[in-house]
A and B are shown apart, each in its own frame.
Chain A
Amino acid sequence: MPSFAPEKPVLTQRIPTFPWADPKARKVVSYDEYARTGGYAGLRKAISMAPEALVEAVKDSQLRGRGGAGFPTGLKWTFLPKYDGGQRYLAVNADESEPGTFKDRLLMDFDPHLVLEGIAIACYACRLQTAYFYIRGEYHHQARVMENAIREAYDKGVFGGNGLLGGAVTAAGEPWKVDCHLHRGAGAYICGEETALLESLEGKRGWPRNKPPFPAIKGLWGKPTIINNVETMAHLPSIVEHGAEWFKKQGVQSTIGGPPSHGTKLMGVSGHVNRPGVYECELGIPLRQLVDEYCGGMRNGKRYKGAIAGGISTGILGPDQFDAEMDFDIGRKYNVLGLGTACPTVFDEDTDMVGVARNIARFFKHESCGQCTPCREGSQWLFKLLTRIEEGDARTKDLDLTLEIATSMGAMPGTTICGLADGNNWAVRTIMNKYWDEFESRVKPTYIPVTMSVGAGVR
């Protein structure tokens, strides 16, 4: 077994994945197969527990959100006001658009009911009546798989009807009915930002909202709303079934006095490795082991040069950071924004890091929603400057200017409504700082040194 492989796969227990099974054998798991292989046992146990006890269990597990920010899921749930019988919503964030990230897709592609079971559990625990599955527009196939699975779940009495699991009486005293709808986005990265996602669900432009009020207080149509990532949902059935203590046996403690990184994580490795793909490992695996033991090492025997930590917003792990542990300490230990989605894009020694920075700057320029001036204008300037550096037309002072713009446009909180500019800042700044020589060698000097001799000695 490679390092940091859980004894048995958790999220990929029905999705054949290395090292347990051959990915070629993957197929969509139907409701019947899901139920036959222990599926919906977590939900059955969940409704036998009081909703407050479930929230407590998720809090105890210290599960941290898998969408990129790593916010503790149970804590987020406790921000909801006390249930007063009014309408409350769950919005599941399946707008997976962060370049480098393709992990939620695996769950949607093959084991949709694992996600739906998690949705049902979250709705019961948090007293939410309606769930929206917000899926990015380009995921045509995944939208069809999820639609089918939602239909199956309705037919089998999971959703709709008289309540969860065919109207079973719950520990809260009565059945709890949940509706679940799929909502397709339409090609806007920013809709992965939680409040932009809500705007988009309401049929508006995906413009992030000012916070506070936070969505747990005033979210979708002004009602209390929880927004969670797909993979976060997929963790819930096993946490409920096996308990918080079981969950906490996986992963690692912080080595710098921070919160622990518990559980397994889907890590999607892309770039210059032999076997790119999604792997399930315990948090804490060093990037080098992930690449060597899971991905078959670097492609063509080349040397490692750097890796985007987990989606381009997180910034880059430099040439001397191949041993960085993939856990929630990574931001503080290795000068990146954070673990992000834990989907590293790995680059070999032939990669032009100026090109990497330019590609990323173009992405953010393209995806800025335009509300805040620092982001809208700054992202344009960064792209222009980096293009100029790449083409060899820039001067030394342009390097400082680029860093200055990056730093001043992304200084959350304060300058912009959402974190997009901050992602742009971290990406550009860490690449420039960690590969400074490469940038410097591409620019012309600002001042041309001239040697002259003056004075009595001149003849």
Chain B
Amino acid sequence: MAWIAKPSSTMRVDRRSEPYLTEAMRSELTSKILPRYATKQGALLPALHMVQHEHGWIPAQAMEEIGAFLGLSAAEVLDCASFYEEYWLKPKGRHVVAVCRSIACEFCGHKQITDAVREKLGIEIGETTDDGKWTLIELECLGSCGTAPVALVDETLHENITAEQVRRLIDETRDGSHHH
């Protein structure tokens, strides 16, 4: 529900001296990404992806930095970023299990997968474990209906997944490892 307005006027902006949009990101944006688009704003989605890939989420300060870099107001960046579900504007766990809940997955048993994760980690959908390691969410169609049920663990799709497999996956994921 991308249209639900978030009260940004009262949003606390935690600041740090080190920029989120690093020099390396700025130079990649300048040399590779900006030339692809007719306007600087065209690079907004790629810039947001970049920050999120690096930091796991997109803090308000990062949105201000991106805005300044692309010649947009912070509000314009927030307006765009808050529309897209994949952008995390609040911190999430270091790893995310996203179980697909759409038509084929629900009727091929997605609930067993979500329940296995809920029980294993002791969290509900939308919550993060106390140690900040895992977040559980459910998403709409992941485009893999032929191998339902499926779950996206970080950036890796697991097809025909079983409750047993998802439990094992959680056990075997160590911090620092990235599911690529």
Q: Is B truly associated with A? A: yes
* Chain A contacts to B: CB under 8 angstroms: 87, 96-102, 105, 136-141, 179, 181, 183-190, 200-206, 220-221, 223, 268-272, 276-278, 308, 312, 343, 345, 347, 351, 355-356, 359-360, 363, 365-371, 376
Residue B28 interfacial (CB < 8 Å)? no
Question: Are B145 and A202 in contact, with the CB atoms below 8 A?
Answer: no
Interface centre among B80, B106, B141, B180 (most CB of A within 10 A): B141
Which chain B residues (131-168) contact chain A, with CB distance < 8 Å?
A: 139-148, 152, 155-157
The interface stretch among B7-15, B19-27, B37-45, B120-128 is B37-45
Question: Are B141 and A188 in contact, with the CB atoms below 8 A?
Answer: no
Cα–Cα, bound, A87→B37 (Å): 12
Interface centre among A189, A190, A223 (most CB of B within 10 A): A189
Offer 23 A-B interface pairs, CB within 8 angstroms, sorted by A: A99-B140, A99-B145, A138-B86, A138-B142, A138-B143, A138-B157, A140-B156, A141-B156, A183-B45, A204-B41, A205-B2, A206-B2, A221-B38, A268-B145, A270-B108, A345-B107, A355-B107, A356-B103, A359-B101, A359-B102, A359-B103, A363-B102, A370-B2
With known contacts A138-B152, A185-B45, A186-B85, A351–B2 Cβ distance under 8 A: no
With known contacts A97-B141, A186-B86, A312–B103 Cβ distance under 8 A: yes
Question: Are B145 and A188 in contact, with the CB atoms below 8 A?
Answer: no
Cα–Cα, bound, A351→B45 (Å): 40
Say how far A174's CB is from chain B's closest CB, in angstroms: 23
Among B83, B107, B144, point to the contact of A105 (Cβ < 8 A). B144
Question: Are B38 and A186 in contact, with the CB atoms below 8 A?
Answer: no
Which chain B residues (18-64) contact chain A, with CB distance < 8 Å?
A: 36-39, 41-46, 48-49
List, in ascending order, chain B residues with CB within 8 A of A270's CB: 104, 108, 145-146, 148
Question: Are B104 and A100 in contact, with the CB atoms below 8 A?
Answer: yes
List, in ascending order, chain A residues with CB within 8 A of B3's CB: 368-371, 376
Question: Are A99 and B141 in contact, with the CB atoms below 8 A?
Answer: yes
List, in ascending order, chain B residues with CB within 8 A of A188's CB: 2, 83-85
- Closest chain B residue to A182 by CB distance? B36
Cα–Cα, bound, A221→B146 (Å): 37
Say how far A46's CB is from chain B's closest CB, in angstroms: 24
Interface centre among A185, A345, A367 (most CB of B within 10 A): A345
